[in-house]
Amino acid sequence: MQFELSEEQRAYVASAREFAQAEFRPNAAHWDESSIFPKSALKAAGDLGFMGMYTPEDAGGLGMSRLDASLIVEELARGCTTTAAFLTIHNMATAMIGKYCQQSVVDSWCPSLVAGETLASYCLTEPGAGSDAAALRTSASKDGDVYRLNGSKVFISGAGETDVLVVMARTGDSGARGITAFLVPADLEGISYGKKESKMGWNAQPTRQISFDNVCVPAINRLGEEGQGFSIAMEGLDGGRINIATCSLGTAQQAIVDATAYVKDRQQFNTAISEFQHTQFQIADMLTELVASRQMIRLAASKLDNGDPNASTYCAMAKRFATDAGFKVCNEALQLFGGYGYIREYPMERYVRDTRVHQILEGTNEIMRVIISRQALMDGALEVIQ
């Protein structure tokens, strides 16, 4: 079992770190405070290939493994949690288009998507279908060479600012087998966008509801076959869980770096805070949980890359553990800053706000426990989940 990164992987990490520290980190607080969606920074990420990391090579992407992509995402999240998180959503949608759309559609959309010149949103969640994604009600009815799309989606990252939507809609009976995926240009007639949500965190990307009123979507824009949408969505979510866990990991890594530097410099009772045993133990526990999270994420990514039949369970475990641990680490880093951690002059409060939602999206951590426990209770399962 190989735990060390290859030279090529180390080069990915170095490139992503340099980019994130130069492009994301100096601007993250401003983007957050002013609710700026940094399209120019995303385009710059596209220039390095970061907007099409695991999109197939024949669609113009890098065709990376999920493990290699996670190395890059971790470094990007150290620069700006919110922008890195949107970048992963864009990557997920773009990879779906590149893998499942007809070649003419791939040729029309993927070059600009992988370059970051156009942006994609992923549309699964509905007002009445959050954790129970198979219960979605947005419908797509075939009418000649188009589908007529009706319904609504909520909590859609980038909505109103992106150029293309990957939409899951019902084309058949109730349940998972009646769902189909579509590429929907974001400016089609009949699409309307709700107000930009005022959120606790993730302020550097807009979140809106999207409504579809008899929107005519060309049949050629379907991803895969009718009824294949739910499996495409779940495949995307396995990788999405690795992505969002990695965003927590990267943010928590930066929080520890910042907090460690602070406690070495800050003095109380004529002694550096770092000299107090409680502080030392706190940092030791934070770092241990961070390294454990990193190994779980990389294990899950490797399982997904290698087509392990239990990859979904590993992805759920990594997501549950790393997003809980990442939020805890950021919160404890804020505590080490004392009152300064609570004011916006320092990034600690932003780290806490931005990582909190990771325990909710891509499947809540309660749903992750459902996935894990179902697998664990199957006969013989514990002999193969190791």
Q: How confident is the model at residue 88 (pLDDT cuts 50, 70, 90)?
A: very high
- pTM of the model as a whole: 0.94
Please report whether residue 297 resides in a domain: yes
138: which 2 tokens?
């947005």
Name the domain boundary from 204, 227, 250.
227
pLDDT digits (tens, 9 = 90+) for 114-147: 999 999 999 999 988 777 778 899 999 999 999 9
| Nearest alpha-carbon partner for 234 in 280, 176, 291 | 176
289 vs 186: CA distance, rounded Å: 41
pLDDT digits (tens, 9 = 90+) for 144-155: 999 999 999 999
Name the domain boundary from 118, 134, 163.
118
Query: Do 308 and 353 fall within a single domain?
Result: yes
Please report whether residue 1 resides in a domain: no
CATH number at residue 213: 2.40.110.10
Q: What pLDDT is stored for residue 247 in this prediction?
A: 98
Contact assessment for residue 325 and residue 262, using Cβ atoms and an 8 Å cutoff: no
| Nearest alpha-carbon partner for 88 in 206, 251, 243 | 243
Q: Residue 344 to residues 29, 30, 374: CA-CA distances in angstroms?
A: 8, 10, 42
Question: Sign of the C-alpha dihedral, residues 16, 19, 21, 23?
Answer: negative
pLDDT digits (tens, 9 = 90+) for 203-248: 999 999 999 999 999 999 999 999 999 999 999 999 999 999 999 9
Q: What pLDDT is stored for residue 4 in this prediction?
A: 87
Q: How confident is the model at residue 382 (pLDDT cuts 50, 70, 90)?
A: low
- How many structural domains comprise the chain? 3
Please report whether residue 248 resides in a domain: yes
Query: Do 267 and 377 fall within a single domain?
Result: yes
Query: Do 252 and 343 fall within a single domain?
Result: yes
374 vs 232: CA distance, rounded Å: 21
Q: Residue 273 to residues 173, 261, 265: CA-CA distances in angstroms?
A: 62, 11, 8
Query: Do 256 and 274 fall within a single domain?
Result: yes
* Residue-range definition of the domain harbouring residue 59: 7-118
142 vs 92: CA distance, rounded Å: 26
pLDDT digits (tens, 9 = 90+) for 47-63: 999 999 999 999 999 99
Please report whether residue 329 resides in a domain: yes
Query: Do 249 and 335 fall within a single domain?
Result: yes
Catalytic positions are 362
